[in-house]
């Protein structure tokens, strides 16, 4: 037997031993959310949520919408290459970020090369920013919040 023939037999044996459970699976967002959606009890302070709603209404609503629904076509950059304000209600990427990242984005503003999000650090206190973030999280559907919680709060 030639070395080439033995190599082919070896490859055949190795690949025959593989089964589908060893292959990486591509999962949809829905599958990820369903897998991560264990019941998470939200323990938001009601007064903090109310303060956050008021602050959002006064400072953020004009860009992000009354119910934080964002701008239509928020995924498409404007003529200047900057993206419009995204939804914050759980239908966009806000929940892909830790509380620290959300807070930093509000305080320091969005990346200037792709965002028109202003910095609020000299306008809002850190407590007001925390209140807004809690209000935003209170809008997220249970599956979104549970997935966010498991990825960022349990570390």
* 68-123 pLDDT, tens digit each: 999 999 999 999 999 999 999 999 999 999 999 999 999 999 999 999 999 999 99
Q: What CA–CA distance (Å, rounded) separates 91 from 122?
A: 29
The CATH classification number of 27-153 equals 1.10.760.10
The confidence score (pLDDT) of residue 154 equals 55
Is residue 67 scored above 60 in pLDDT?
yes
The chain-wide mean pLDDT, for the chain, equals 82
DSSP3 helix / strand / coil % (the chain, rounded to 5): 55, 0, 45
Q: CA 80, CA 91: separation in Å to the nearest integer?
A: 24
Residues 102/94, Cβ–Cβ less than 8 Å: yes
Q: What are phi and psi of 83, to 5 degrees?
A: -85, 145
How many C-beta atoms lie closer than 10 Å to residue 89's C-beta? 20
Question: Mean pLDDT throughout 17-37?
Answer: 49
Least confident interval from 3-12, 65-74, 143-152: 3-12
Dmax (CA) for the chain in angstroms is: 81
pLDDT digits (tens, 9 = 90+) for 11-24: 443 333 444 444 44
Position 153 scores a pLDDT of: 77
- The residue-averaged pLDDT of 47-56 equals 98
Q: Which residue ranges make up each domain of the chain?
A: 27-153
Report the C-alpha dihedral over residues 105, 111, 114, 116, rounded to 10 degrees.
60
| pLDDT score of 66 more than 70 | yes
């Amino acid at each position: 037997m030639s070395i080439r023939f033995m190599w082919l037999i070896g490859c055949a044996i190795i690949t025959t031993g593989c089964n589908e459970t060893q292959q990486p699976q591509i999962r949809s967002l829905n599958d990820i959310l369903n897998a991560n959606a264990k019941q998470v009890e939200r323990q938001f302070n009601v007064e903090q949520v109310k303060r956050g709603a008021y602050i959002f209404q006064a400072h953020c609503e004009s860009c992000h919408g009354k119910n934080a629904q964002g701008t239509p076509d928020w995924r498409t950059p404007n003529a200047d290459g900057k993206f419009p304000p995204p939804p914050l209600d759980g239908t966009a990427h806000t929940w892909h970020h830790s509380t620290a990242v959300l807070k930093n984005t509000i305080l320091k503003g969005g990346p200037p090369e792709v965002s028109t999000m202003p910095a609020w650090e000299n306008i809002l206190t850190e407590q007001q920013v925390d209140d807004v973030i809690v209000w935003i999280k209170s809008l997220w559907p249970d599956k979104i919040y549970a997935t966010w919680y498991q990825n960022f709060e349990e570390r």
